[in-house]
Chains A and B, each alone.
Chain A
């Protein structure tokens, strides 16, 4: 796929040896990677269609080193791309040819488990799942659970404001972190929040979360942990018509029920998942909902009954209830493995991530079928139905000429459709490079200029992860001009007191 990135700066490239030497003074030994073979490991992230060798890779292990690297790069005018585990599906960690790739993998320690305050302080390179594993013996867990949780890091989760299958009830990353330590491009170390709630002043913790590595480099995270629910039951509900499944989702929410998770899979996704993990999914169904209810046993029993009744009202053809923890996990196994499962039925797939109002689920499915015919590419659908977050998987073969371009165009059409239906371009994967050029479908020039002004407050030279999120790079000085049209005043109709 082709994606225009900022033109590499020849002057920076010509100073590569000098930059390497300076970085080695900050991060000695193997922490600075120069050889092409070793840099190759960092050339792409989870969006593998895009590849670019970074100029240099640096792997610091202490916050002072991060600060010194950023301070040096700012002075030297060198761009920096931060990277966690490299699982981004939007190209958030795609390197730059003239940039330093700042890998945070060595920040991999859990610093403090504080059950009394129900929080854990971790370094950003700790994986999402490792946090839950560290506290589960005491009956706690960390709620956001992106499907990549075994590999993705909490630092990356903060950068992307990651979600997961349980975020309808328990929130996404931004709702589950209390504080961070971060380093600005000028080397200043800043602490936001802590173990207390709602740090006052501007909510910079809120804007850092989901800022895709464009504002600062996170060096420590304090997350909230929650007590595990007493019980959880999952329902598998099959439908002969996708429209019924879509209406059932809206009806559950309208009945005042917020399930722990509510996932949708269409027929191609059901078949791919069942072939892969044998989860017991109904193969004759056109659509499948997995609804999980958690809480006190009496509550789970009551709500399970209500969801069953709603499903029957919406013409469910099959309803299965998990009778054991093992069966509940098995029900989820197909959904959690949906991406690799689809990977087995097509040489390549392209995962999209838009959000729409729930009521439009069946509309967008119908429109996608039309698009699928037009582009002559199959699509399998898994949705976080509870919050309207779609993950259409477009199947293609990169070895067939033109297919990758068709897949990309199909994906862009789906995302434009999401915006047209009142939704947004990305629910949890981020804009990155992938959706950068679609930002205009959702935001006008003034909207984007205001977003970039936030960037100017953090990184006025635009050296941190440039080329992501914004379709056009503006210099901060150029954005700074005020455009007041004095001649437009006064306004005779305006009531004045």
Chain B
């Protein structure tokens, strides 16, 4: 077992070249906060990217930031906050979910978030990590330096390879430098909470809010069964939560409208700035399902209108707790006591009784043994799986970068 930490692009190329020559695959690691994500790897070499750091260019009025791929997220977010800006896609901190010490979160890197394409509640309004990934420089599994995309917000020159890198879990290239789009931070925020609605009614309210012009930037539903979880604002009732962000006057106006339009027949409250932020951090970080840590956690993406029913179907078939984000389109499920972690029930529920349902379930938290035998990512139809395998082989013909991280044998 060897571990190498290149300090720059040239060294990164050399390390990958050396692994190619030795025919020994590399596990890519930077902050190592998401090592539990994806299929477990046992590889002879570790490529430690954590020295590829530093903000290299940041012009707030351009809304663009370029940094070493392993720059800690914390450093990026601090620099953005100083200029009144933010990462619009609200990257999650899953240290708690993966039962890591809180200090581990500080090691999470920008490149890691992009490589896993992780986005929080604001996804529904601002887009995903991939939508903000403008350009990169790195080394492919061919041992060759290349770049793609650009350093401006609007660009269609050549294929959009940053999209290909987002969510590729380091299986195509090792990123050395990334450029992202950032946005101004909202001046004010609050959350309108509707209490005591059943899941179907709750999600219909989220849908009405998202179909309104009130620019909702977070829409979640937490069933009453989660009352004992660490969300202080949650009483013994279910809650449908709607976040509003923007200039103070605008937030105040929209909040009154949402209350008038949606809360005539239920208990409602408004969470002001800090409690509102705390609630969305919890939802983003899967805090309601993090404990007990022995449970398997799934992330299910479906058409928003299916979320509530799917949650209930799964909870009937398994010992499971769940909640919804993304207006019903993102279902978080924690499962106890199922041999396959609940894979068959969850994936079967997505396909539905007629087998035509679409969506996907990702095994986010599970033991290495479970992640070894259960497909972590939703299995793809054969023509698509074959195409993805060809993409992998064109960028990494010797399968030297994180082989088997996403799909067994690729």
Which residues of A pack against B, CB within 8 Å? 114-118, 139-140, 160-161, 163, 167-168, 171-172, 174-175, 184, 188-192, 194-207, 209-211, 215, 227-230, 250-251, 253-254, 256-258, 295-299, 301-303, 355-359, 384, 387-389, 422-431, 435, 439, 442-443, 446-451, 453-458, 469, 480, 482-486, 488-491, 493-497
- State the CA gap A457–B396 with chains docked (Å): 12
| Chain B residues, Cβ within 8 Å of A206 | 130, 160, 163-164, 166
Given A299-B249, A359-B61, A203–B123 Cβ distance below 8 Å?
Answer: no
The reply to whether A190 and B384 contact each other, CB–CB distance below 8 Å, is yes
| Chain B residues, Cβ within 8 Å of A485 | 17
Is B282 at the interface (CB under 8 A from chain A)? Answer: no
The reply to whether B21 and A355 contact each other, CB–CB distance below 8 Å, is no
Which of B48, B185, B212 contacts A497, CB < 8 Å? B48
The reply to whether B303 and A195 contact each other, CB–CB distance below 8 Å, is yes
Which residues of B pack against A, CB within 8 Å? 2-7, 11, 14-15, 17-18, 20-21, 48, 59-64, 84-85, 117, 119, 123-124, 127-128, 130-131, 140, 142-148, 150-161, 163-164, 166-168, 172, 183-185, 187, 207, 210-215, 246-247, 249-250, 252-254, 257, 301-305, 326, 329-330, 358-360, 362, 377-378, 380-381, 383-384, 387-388, 390-395, 397-398, 406
The reply to whether A488 and B167 contact each other, CB–CB distance below 8 Å, is no
Say how far B179's CB is from chain A's closest CB, in angstroms.
Answer: 11
| Chain B residues, Cβ within 8 Å of A458 | 387, 390
| Chain A residues, Cβ within 8 Å of B359 | 194, 196
Interface of B is mostly: mixed
Q: 10 shortest A-B CB distances, which residue pairs?
A: A206-B163, A299-B250, A256-B184, A195-B303, A457-B390, A453-B394, A254-B61, A194-B358, A298-B249, A497-B3
The reply to whether A117 and B305 contact each other, CB–CB distance below 8 Å, is yes
Which of A200, A359, A428, A484 contacts B21, CB < 8 Å? A484
| Chain B residues, Cβ within 8 Å of A449 | 144, 146
- State the CA gap A206–B130 with chains docked (Å): 9
- State the CA gap A426–B59 with chains docked (Å): 21
The reply to whether B210 and A356 contact each other, CB–CB distance below 8 Å, is no
Given A200-B360, A227-B211, A482-B398, A207–B154 Cβ distance below 8 Å?
Answer: no
| Chain A residues, Cβ within 8 Å of B59 | 357, 359
- State the CA gap A205–B11 with chains docked (Å): 33
| Chain A residues, Cβ within 8 Å of B383 | 184, 188-190
- The count of A-to-B residue pairs whose CB atoms sit within 8 angstroms is 314
Q: List 13 contacting pairs A-B, 8 Å CB cutoff, sorted by A.
A: A174-B131, A184-B387, A191-B384, A198-B130, A206-B160, A298-B247, A303-B247, A389-B154, A426-B157, A447-B147, A458-B390, A488-B14, A494-B4
Say how far A398's CB is from chain B's closest CB, in angstroms.
Answer: 27
Say how far A249's CB is from chain B's closest CB, in angstroms.
Answer: 9
Which of B3, B20, B160, B391 contacts A457, CB < 8 Å? B391
The reply to whether A355 and B303 contact each other, CB–CB distance below 8 Å, is no
- State the CA gap A297–B256 with chains docked (Å): 13
Q: Which residue of B185, B302, B391 has the most chain A CB atoms within 10 A of its CB atom?
A: B391
Say how far A102's CB is from chain B's closest CB, in angstroms.
Answer: 20
Given A227-B211, A450-B148, A489-B14, A298–B143 Cβ distance below 8 Å?
Answer: no
Given A201-B380, A450-B144, A228–B213 Cβ distance below 8 Å?
Answer: yes
